[in-house]
C-alpha cells in the first residue's frame, strides 16, 4: 500500500514527536478489537495526552481529509476500532489521569483513557465505587462510546445512567462540554446522551464525569444450579417482578459452565446456573437473599452455594468476566463471535429456549450467557474464521437470532454497539430512526471523518 | 390582528372539522402555561386524535410555514406553550389512550396526552406504578418534553430514565420510533434522550413507552422540623451519602411552611421541615427510617412525626405538591415566578444559605422548597406582574441565583426546562454546547417551525 496522508502525518509528527507512530507493529495493534471482524490498519497512530492536543490533531486531520478513529483499549466486539478506511487511530491510553473525585457528591472526572479497574483501585479507600463492569478492563471513554454495561447494570444502570457529562472534541476540532455537574438538569438537548453510544462517529470523548455509588455495607454472592434453562430464567423474571434490587443476576447455560470449568479451574455441575449478588445493609441483604433463594427453589434451583468471603466472590466474578476468553479457549486459534440481543423480560424464556433449540442444529459448541435481569444475553461461538462453511453457518444463526429478538420487541445489541457488524440490523430495528441519525451525523460531521463507516453509512 | 395562515387553517379545518378551533376563548386558553411569562395566542388550536393525524397536521403547517406549538396540559413554568410567533397550538388532550400495559415487563405505552394521575389510576390494581410526579397532573408528553421530575426522582430518576422509547412526528411530518422495547440497548444514537427535554422544538411526541415500578410492600412517610435550614440540608446530604435509597426527601423553609399551613389547613410549626418517604419491604423500610431519624436528630431535627396511614400520607404529599399554588395564594392576583436551580449536593447547603440571605433583601415573601436529594431547589415568589419595580427586583434576584448555581458547577434548570425564559442562561451554562444544539435543530427543523423561539434561537 502506497503511503497516504503524508502531509497530515508530517504535521502530526511536528505536533506530537514520537507520540505519532507509523511502525507496522503499532498499526497492526490498532487494526482490530477482540471480535472476529477482519483487521484494518490505520495509516498512523497518535498517542494523545490532553483534550487540547486532541483538538489540534482533529483539526489537522480535517484539513487533510484524514479519517479519525478513536481507540480505547480495543476490547469491543463489533470492529469499531478497525480502520476500515485507513486514517489516524487516536489512542487514548496516555490520557489516563483521574482529574477529580468528590466523595461528597459521589462523582469523579477522568480522562477518557482511564480504565474501570484503574478508577476503582483509586477509589478503594474512599467508600465509593464505579459499578459498570464489562468483562474486559476497558477504558471509560470506550465504555461511554459504546454505551457499555455489564453484570450489575440491572441495579446500577448502564453508561447511559453513569455518565453525568462529557468533554468532547467535535469533527471540526471544537471542544464541547455537554453538561454541568448537577445530578439532574432540564437545560436543553441532552448532548451527553447523544455522545454516549455514538462509537466515535460524532467526536472524540476526552473527559468524562461519572456518577459513583457508596460501597454497600454488605455484599453477598451465590451460585445456584438448575435442571432446566427455563427454571433459571423464570427465577430471574420472578425476582425482578418482585422488585428485589439484585446487584447481579447472571445466567450461564451448561455449555458456558463447561467452558468456565476448563478455563477457570472451577467444578460446577454441568447444568444451567445463576450467579447472583446482593448489595445492601446486612439485614437487607439477608432478606433479599432469602426471597430469591425461595423463588429459585420453587423453580427447580438447587445446590444454592453462598460465597463466604471476598476472595471467593472475586474468583466467582472473574470466572464470569472471563467467559468470552473461556469460550475462545474451547478451540485452537478461534475468534470470538459475540452475539448480543436484548428482549423485554416477558419474552426472555421463550427467546432463550428457541435459541437453545437453534443451537442444537449448529456444528460447533455455542455457550449462552447473559445479563438476564435486563433481558440481555449473548451466544458466544468460538469461530474458526478460516472455515468458510462454519462462518456462514454462524452468520446465518446470528441472523435468525436477531430476527427473533426484533420480532419480540427487542434490540439487535444490548451493550456491544453497532460498529461495522450490525448496521443492517440497526436499519431493520429502527428504519425511520436511522434516517434521523444520518441527519445528525451529516450536521455534526459533514465530511464523515469521525470513525467513518461505523454505526451508519452516510 | 389580521387573520394569518388562512390557507393553512382552511386545510386543517378540512382535515379536523370542529377539532380545529379559532375561537378567542380557546386561543386564550392555549396562550400560556402556569408561569408569569406574557401570554401569546396561537392563530388556531388543533385537537388531534392520533399519531397519523399529527403527521398530517404538521405537513400542512410546514407547507404554509405555520409554527407548530405542542400543548400538553399547560402547567409548565417557562412559557413553553406560549405561541410567541403565533401559529398552531397542537392540543394533545384527546390523545389520552393507554395503549398497552405489561405488568411482566413493568412497562406501558401511552398516547402523549395521558396524564400521570390517569395512568396511575389505570395501574392501581396491577401492583405497579409510575413514579414521576411534578406537582401538577401534567401530561406524559409534556413531562417527556420538559424532562420533568418531581419528589421521587431521587429514587426513581427523572423522565430521562423513565422513558424507554418514543414515537415522534418530525418537522417534515415523518413518523419516527426512537427505540425498541428492550430495557437497555446500544443500538445507534440515543434518539429517545434527544427528544426527552427538547420542549417541542424537534418534533411532536405522540406515543411514549414508560418504565414502571413494582408498588413497594411498605411505604412510610414522615415530617421533621429543624431549627435551622443548615441542619435540614445537612441531614439530606448525609442520608444520600450513606446510600439510603430515599423515595422522597423534600425541604420546605419556614416561609414555605407558612404558605402550606394557610393553603392546605395544616399546622406545622413555622420552622424549616423535611418531608420524607421510604419504600421497601417492612423490615427494610423500618431500618431506613431508623437510620435517617438518627441522622436528622444529630442535625437538630425534632418533632419527627410518622404518618400512620394512606390518607394522611396522601394529604401530606398533596400539600407539598400544591406548594406553587400555595405560594401564589399568599397574595392577590399573583403569578408564579418559579426559579429552579440544581447544584452538586456538596454545595447545596452553601447555595441555599446564600440564597436565604439574598431573600432577606427582597421586598416580597419568597418560599424555598426543594427536591434536595438531587441538589434541586426552587424559590417561588408570588409576583405582582403589574408592579415593574417588583418584577425587576425578582428578575435581578433570579439572575444572582442562577449565577451562584452555575459558579458552583450547577445548572440553570433542574426540571422546568428552558422555554422562553432561560435561553441566555443556557448559553451561559453550556456556551459551546448551545452551538451543537443549534446544529441539531437546524438539521431536523431547518425552517424552525417546531415551537420556534424556545430553548435556542437559530
Ligand atoms: C472478555 C470480554 C467481556 C466483555 N464483556 C462486556 C460486557 O459485559 N458488557 C459490555 O458492554 N461490553 C463487554 N465487552 C466489550 C467491551 O469491553 C466494551 O465494548 C467496552 O466498552 C470497550 O471499551 P474499549 O475501551 O476497549 O473500546 P474500544 O474497543 O477501544 O473502542 C470501542 C468503540 O468506541 C470508540 N471509542 C473508544 N474510545 C473512544 C473515545 N475516547 N471517544 C470516542 N470514541 C471512542 C472506538 O472508536 C470504537 O468504535 C467485553 C469484551 C471482552 C473482551
Ligand atoms: C403546582 C405545580 C407544581 C409543579 N411541580 C413540578 C415538579 O415538581 N417537577 C417538574 O419537573 N415540574 C413541575 N411543574 C411544571 C410542570 O408540571 C412540568 O413542566 C410538566 O412536565 C409540564 O407538563 P404539561 O403537560 O403541562 O406540559 P405543557 O406545559 O403543556 O408544555 C410544556 C412544554 O412541552 C411541550 N410539549 C407538551 N406536550 C408535548 C408533546 N406531546 N410533544 C412535544 N412537546 C410537547 C410544550 O410545547 C412546552 O414547550 C409544576 C407545575 C405546577 C403548576
Which CATH number does the domain housing residue A359 bear?
A: 3.40.462.10
- Residues on chain A touching B442 (C-beta within 8 angstroms): 443
CB contact under 8 A, B242 and A182: no
Q: Which of A187, A340, A418 sits opposite B430 (nearest CB)?
A: A187
The reply to whether B41 and B179 lie within a common domain is no
Distance from CA of B182 to the nearest CA of A (A): 5
B167 and B233 together in one domain: no
Ligand 1, pocket-test mutation among A76, A79, A413, most atoms within 8 A of CB: A76
Ligand with minimal distance to B81 CA = 2
Please tell me the distance in Å from A359's CA to the nearest CA on chain B.
23
Ligand 2 atom with the smallest distance to the CA of B72 is 30
Nearest chain A residue to B407 by CA distance is A180
Q: For residue A451, tell me if it sits in a domain.
A: no
| Contact between chains at B430 and A158 (C-beta distance less than 8 A) | no
User: Among A92, A134, A319, which is best to mutate for testing ligand 1, by the most ligand atoms less than 8 A from CB?
Assistant: A134
Dist. CA A75 → ligand 1 center (Å):
5
Would you call B176 and A284 a contact, using CB atoms and an 8 Å cutoff?
no
Is A287 within 8 Å of B287 when comparing Cβ atoms? no
Q: Summarize pLDDT for A233-270 with one digit per residue, the tens.
A: 999 999 998 889 999 999 999 999 999 999 999 999 99
Residue B225 included in any domain: yes
Which ligand has its closest atom nearest to the C-alpha of B413? 2
Ligand 2 atom nearest B323 alpha carbon? 1
Select from B184, B345, B411 the Cβ nearest to the Cβ of A187. Answer: B411
Q: Looking at the 3D structure of chain A, how many domains does it have?
A: 3
- Whether residue A324 is contained in a domain is answered as yes
Spatial distance between the Cα atoms of B145 and B20, rounded to a whole number of angstroms: 23
**Measured distance CA(A189)–CA(B353) in Å, rounded:** 30
Q: The domain spanning residue B21 has which CATH number?
A: 3.30.43.10
Q: Across the interface, do B193 and A191 touch by the CB < 8 Å criterion?
A: no
Query: Which residue has the CA at smallest separation from atom 16 of ligand 1?
Result: A76
8 Å CB contact of B342 and A175: no
CB contact under 8 A, A102 and B344: yes
Q: Are residues B189 and B138 in the same domain?
A: yes
In chain A, which residues have their Cβ closer than 8 Å to the Cβ of B185?
147, 342, 411, 413-414
Nearest to B418 among A146, A177, A188 (CB): A188
> Which of A77, A159, A184, A441 to probe the B interface (max B CBs under 10 A)?
A184
Mutation site, A161, A186, A191, interface B, largest B CB count within 10 A: A186
Please give the residue that has the higher pLDDT: either A40 or A332: A40
Rounded to the nearest angstrom, the distance between the alpha carbon of B76 and the centre of ligand 2 is 4
Answer whether residue A399 shows pLDDT above 80.
yes
Interface test mutation site (partner B, options A185, A200, A211, A216, max chain B beta carbons within 10 A): A185
Task: Report if residue A426 sits inside a domain.
Answer: no
Q: Report chain B residues whose CB lies below 8 A from the CB of A180.
A: 406, 409-411, 429-430
Q: Which residue, by CA, sits nearest to atom 3 of ligand 1? A: A135
Confidence at residue A245, expressed as pLDDT on a 0 to 100 scale:
94
Best residue of A52, A183, A292, A414 to probe chain B, by most B CBs closer than 10 Å: A183
Domain with residue A109: its CATH number is: 3.30.465.10
Mark whether A239 and A352 lie in a shared domain: yes
Closest residue to A190, CB basis, from B106, B185, B197: B197
The 8-class DSSP code of residue A416 comes to S
Instruction: Using the structure block, give the residue that is written with the C-alpha cell 414522615.
Output: B222
Looking at the complex, report in whole angstroms how far the Cα of residue A131 sits from the nearest Cα belonging to chain B.
Answer: 14
* Domain presence at residue B306: yes
**Are residues B255 and B364 located together in one domain of the fold?**
yes
Same domain, B188 and B245: no
Question: What residue's CA is closest to ligand 2, atom 18?
Answer: B76
Last residue of a domain, one of B44, B60, B91: B91
Kindly report the nearest CA distance between residue A117 and chain B, in angstroms: 22
Query: Does the pLDDT value for residue A1 go beyond 70?
Result: no
Q: Which residue of B has its CA nearest to A107?
A: B344
Atom 31, ligand 1: which residue's CA is nearest?
A142
* B175 and B49 in a common domain: no
Is A182 in Cβ contact with B411 (below 8 Å)?
yes
3-class secondary structure per residue, A288-316: HHHHHHHHHHHCCEEEEEECCCHHHHHHH
Residue segments in chain B with a per-residue pLDDT below the cut of 70: 1
Cβ distance of A187 and B439 shorter than 8 Å = no
Are the Cβ atoms of B202 and A189 closer than 8 angstroms? Answer: yes
In angstroms, what separates the C-alpha of A106 from chain B's closest C-alpha? 8
Q: Which of A190, A214, A238 is the last residue of a domain?
A: A214
Query: Whose alpha carbon is nearest atom 28 of ligand 2?
Result: B74
Does B257 lie in the same domain as B135?
no
Same domain, B353 and B265: yes
Domain assignment present for B433: no
A196-222 b/e (C-beta count within 10 Å ≥ 16 → b)? bbbbbbbbbbbbbbbbbbbebeebbbb
pLDDT tens, position by position, A208-233:
999 999 999 999 999 999 999 999 99
Residue A449 has pLDDT above 80, yes or no: yes
SS (H, E, C) chain B: CCCCCHHHHHHHHHHHHHHEECCHHHHHHCCCCCECCCCCCCCEEEECCCHHHHHHHHHHHHHCCCCEEEECCCCCCCCCCCCCCCCEEEECCCCCCEEEEECCCCEEEEECCCEHHHHHHHHHHHCEECCCCCCCCCEHHHHHHHCCCCCCHHHHCCHHHHEEEEEEEECCCCEEECCCCCCCCCCCCCHHHHHCCCCCCCEEEEEEEEECEECCCEEEEEEEEECCHHHHHHHHHHHHHCCCCCCEEEEECHHHHHHHHHHHCCCCCCCCEEEEEEEECHHHHHHHHHHHHHHHHHCCEEEEEECCCHHHHHHHHHHHHCHHHHHHCCCCCCEECCCCEECCHHHHHHHHHHHHHHHCCCCCCCCEEEEHHHCEEEECCEECCCCHHHHHHHHHHHHHHHHHHHHCCCECCCCCCCCCCCHHHHHHHCHHHHHHHHHHHHHHCCCCCECCCCCCCC
Same domain, B162 and B64: no
- Cβ neighbours of B109 in A, within 8 Å: none
Chain B partners within 8 Å of A436 (Cβ): 170, 176, 191, 444
Q: Is residue A421 part of a domain?
A: no
Which of A105, A213, A412 is closest, CB to CB, to B187? A412
Judge whether B155 lies within some domain. Answer: yes
Pair (B196, B238) in one structural domain: no
Among A407, A427, A451, the domain boundary falls at A407
Grid cell at residue B357: 440571605
Q: Which residue of B has its CA nearest to A414?
A: B185
Segments forming the whole domain that contains residue B7: 3-91
Q: Are residues A146 and A64 in the same domain?
A: no
Work out the pLDDT band at A458, boundaries 50, 70, 90: confident
Amino acid at each position: 500500500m502506497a503511503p497516504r496522508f503524508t502531509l497530515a502525518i508530517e504535521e502530526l509528527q511536528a505536533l506530537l514527536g514520537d507520540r505519532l507512530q507509523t511502525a507496522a507493529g503499532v498499526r497492526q495493534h490498532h487494526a482490530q478489537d477482540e471480535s472476529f471482524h477482519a483487521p484494518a490498519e490505520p495509516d498512523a497512530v497518535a498517542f494523545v495526552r490532553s483534550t487540547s492536543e486532541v483538538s489540534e490533531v482533529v483539526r489537522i486531520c480535517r484539513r487533510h481529509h484524514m479519517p479519525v478513529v478513536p481507540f480505547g483499549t480495543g476490547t469491543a466486539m463489533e470492529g469499531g476500532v478497525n480502520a476500515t478506511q485507513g486514517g489516524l487511530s487516536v489512542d487514548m491510553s496516555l490520557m489516563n489521569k483521574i482529574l477529580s473525585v468528590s466523595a461528597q457528591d459521589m462523582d469523579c472526572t477522568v480522562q477518557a483513557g482511564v480504565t474501570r479497574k484503574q478508577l476503582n483501585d483509586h477509589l478503594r479507600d474512599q467508600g465509593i465505587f464505579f459499578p459498570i463492569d464489562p468483562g474486559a478492563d476497558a477504558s471509560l471513554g470506550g465504555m461511554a462510546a459504546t454505551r457499555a454495561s455489564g453484570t450489575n447494570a440491572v441495579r446500577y444502570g448502564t453508561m447511559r445512567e453513569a455518565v453525568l457529562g462529557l468533554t468532547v472534541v467535535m469533527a471540526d476540532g471544537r471542544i464541547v462540554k455537554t453538561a454541568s455537574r448537577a445530578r439532574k438538569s432540564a437545560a436543553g438537548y441532552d448532548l451527553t446522551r447523544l455522545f454516549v453510544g455514538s462509537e466515535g462517529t460524532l467526536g472524540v470523548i476526552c473527559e468524562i464525569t461519572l456518577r459513583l455509588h457508596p460501597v454497600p455495607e454488605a455484599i453477598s454472592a451465590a451460585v445456584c444450579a438448575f435442571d432446566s434453562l427455563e427454571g433459571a430464567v423464570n427465577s430471574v423474571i420472578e425476582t425482578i417482578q418482585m422488585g428485589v434490587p439484585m446487584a447481579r443476576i447472571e445466567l450461564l447455560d451448561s455449555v458456558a459452565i463447561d467452558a468456565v470449568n476448563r478455563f477457570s479451574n472451577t467444578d460446577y455441575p454441568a447444568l444451567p446456573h445463576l450467579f447472583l449478588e446482593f448489595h445492601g445493609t446486612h439485614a437487607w441483604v439477608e432478606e433479599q437473599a432469602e426471597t430469591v433463594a425461595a423463588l429459585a427453589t420453587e423453580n427447580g434451583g438447587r445446590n444454592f452455594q453462598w460465597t463466604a468471603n471476598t476472595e471467593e466472590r472475586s474468583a466467582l466474578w472473574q470466572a464470569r468476566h472471563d467467559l468470552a476468553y473461556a469460550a475462545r479457549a474451547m478451540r485452537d486459534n478461534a475468534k470470538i463471535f459475540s452475539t448480543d440481543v436484548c428482549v423485554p423480560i416477558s419474552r426472555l424464556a421463550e427467546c432463550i429456549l428457541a435459541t437453545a433449540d437453534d443451537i442444537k442444529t449448529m456444528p460447533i459448541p455455542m455457550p449462552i450467557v447473559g445479563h438476564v435481569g435486563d433481558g440481555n444475553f449473548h451466544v458466544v461461538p468460538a469461530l474458526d474464521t478460516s472455515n468458510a462453511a462454519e462462518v456462514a453457518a454462524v452468520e446465518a444463526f446470528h441472523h435468525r437470532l436477531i430476527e427473533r429478538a426484533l420480532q419480540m420487541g427487542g434490540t439487535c445489541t444490548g451493550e456491544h454497539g453497532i460498529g461495522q457488524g450490525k448496521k443492517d440490523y440497526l436499519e431493520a430495528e429502527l428504519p425511520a430512526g436511522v434516517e434521523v441519525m444520518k441527519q445528525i451525523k451529516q450536521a455534526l460531521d459533514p465530511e464523515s471523518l469521525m470513525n467513518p463507516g461505523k454505526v451508519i453509512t452516510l
